[in-house]
DNA sequence: CAGAATCCATGTAGATACTG
DNA sequence: CAGTATCTACATGGATTCTG
């Protein structure tokens, strides 16, 4: 299959599928949370300490969205003090692969892109 | 390589690489423009007519960003009326593959995700 | 035709303070 | 510990108007 044919997957239904997933994972923290949860279950504070810069509010929102989408499971243990564990679901794990593909692309092409930006900016400025 | 090892690619430098690419392609139109340009060169108006809902301003901004990143080339023909053609660069084409992988994931898992959301919402509401 | 410029609505994210 | 609530700042995106 050529990339031309494959790119129809992106435009497909007017871009609904792509838009849907980018709305889900395109924000500032979601993919980082998913990647951080690729491994043993973590509790809230562990998650927060492993994701430098994320605020409580943003972590809460992000895991809630992921839970709603069925990509992360949230288990509350009825203890005092409370303990809540987060874990990727089977579906959530399947997201790792395409996400890594994207990260690979980013790592591979970043130098090139930054050079292009520098050229563009000096030429325009 | 396990997904666990691979997911380090995402968290890598504290998520810089992923953040960089999501800032680039995570917006509303970029991937749609890239996918639409996977094929013969198109002029501004052609591009706009093939991407339902995009405004002039957003198309202009999006192609400018892509040009700055070196993913799209912009060729101005000195004619009256003006003609401008857009085309994916070689680098731009390499983005198609991981983007399609993501679109595939979205298409595959959308039904499941929507079911999860429905369950979550009724349970919470 | 292909945009540039301006204005405005909305959403996203962060800081801060409080609580079961 | 694991949140919730509130407020605010900023970025994103859209509509409209104007132009080389």
Q: Does A13 touch chain B (CB under 8 A)?
A: no
Q: Residue B2's pLDDT is what?
A: 79
Q: Residue B54's pLDDT is what?
A: 96
> Could you say which nucleotides of strand C lie within 7 A of any protein CB atom?
1-6, 12-17, 20
Nearest CA to CA, how far is A17 from chain B (Å)?
6
Domain boundaries, chain B: 3-124
Instruction: Say if CB A86 and CB A41 are below 8 A apart.
Output: yes
Chain A hits for B10, CB-CB cut-off 8 Å, are: 31-32, 34-35, 96, 99-100, 103
Nearest CA to CA, how far is A32 from chain B (Å)?
6
Report the nucleotide nearest the CA of residue A82, measured to C1': D1
Chain A hits for B113, CB-CB cut-off 8 Å, are: 24, 69-71, 91
The Cα–Cα gap between B125 and B123 comes to: 6
Q: Residue B64's pLDDT is what?
A: 97
Q: Give B 58-117 residues with CB within 8 A of chain A.
A: 67-71, 91, 93-107, 109-110, 112-113, 115-117
Contact B100 A52 (CB under 8 A): no
The Cα–Cα gap between A52 and A55 comes to: 9
The whole-model pTM stands at 0.93
The Cα–Cα gap between B14 and B25 comes to: 19
Between the CA atoms of A48, A54, A60 and A64, what dihedral angle is there, to the nearest 10 degrees? Answer: -100
Task: Tell me whether residue A86 is exposed, middle or buried, using C-beta atoms within 10 angstroms of its C-beta: 0 to 12, 13 to 18, 19 or more.
Answer: buried
Per-residue pLDDT of chain A (125 residues; tens, 9 = 90+): 777 778 989 998 888 888 889 999 999 999 999 999 999 999 999 999 999 999 999 999 999 999 999 999 999 999 989 999 999 999 999 999 999 999 999 999 999 999 999 999 988 65
3-state class (DSSP) for residue B20: helix
Range B3-124: architecture per CATH: Orthogonal Bundle (1.10)
Q: Report pLDDT digits (tens) over B61-105.
A: 999 999 999 999 999 999 989 999 999 999 999 999 999 999 999
Tokens of A112: 């090139």
DSSP string, chain A: --HHHHTHHHHTTTSHHHHHHHHHHSSSSHHHHHHHTSSS-EEHHHHHHHSTT--HHHHHHHHHHHHHTTSEEEEEE--SS-EEEEEE-HHHHHHHHHHHHHHHHHHHHHHHHHHHHHHHHHHH-
3-state class (DSSP) for residue B51: coil
Report the distance from CA of residue B56 to the C1' of nucleotide D14 in Å, as an integer.
Answer: 10
Chain A hits for B12, CB-CB cut-off 8 Å, are: 103, 107
Q: Is the pLDDT of residue B125 over 80?
A: no
Nearest CA to CA, how far is B57 from chain A (Å)?
19
């Amino acid at each position: 299959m050529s990339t031309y044919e494959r790119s129809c997957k992106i435009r497909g239904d007017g871009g609904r599928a792509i838009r849907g997933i980018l709305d889900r994972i395109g924000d500032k923290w979601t993919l980082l949370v998913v990647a951080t949860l690729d491994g043993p279950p973590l509790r809230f504070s562990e998650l927060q300490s492993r994701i430098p810069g994320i605020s409580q509010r943003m972590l809460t929102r992000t895991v809630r969205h992921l839970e709603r989408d069925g990509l992360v499971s949230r288990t509350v243990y009825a203890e005092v003090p409370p303990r809540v564990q987060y874990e990727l679901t089977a579906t959530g794990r399947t997201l790792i692969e395409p996400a890594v593909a994207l990260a690979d692309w980013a790592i591979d092409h970043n130098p090139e892109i930054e050079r292009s930006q520098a050229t563009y900016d000096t030429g325009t400025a």
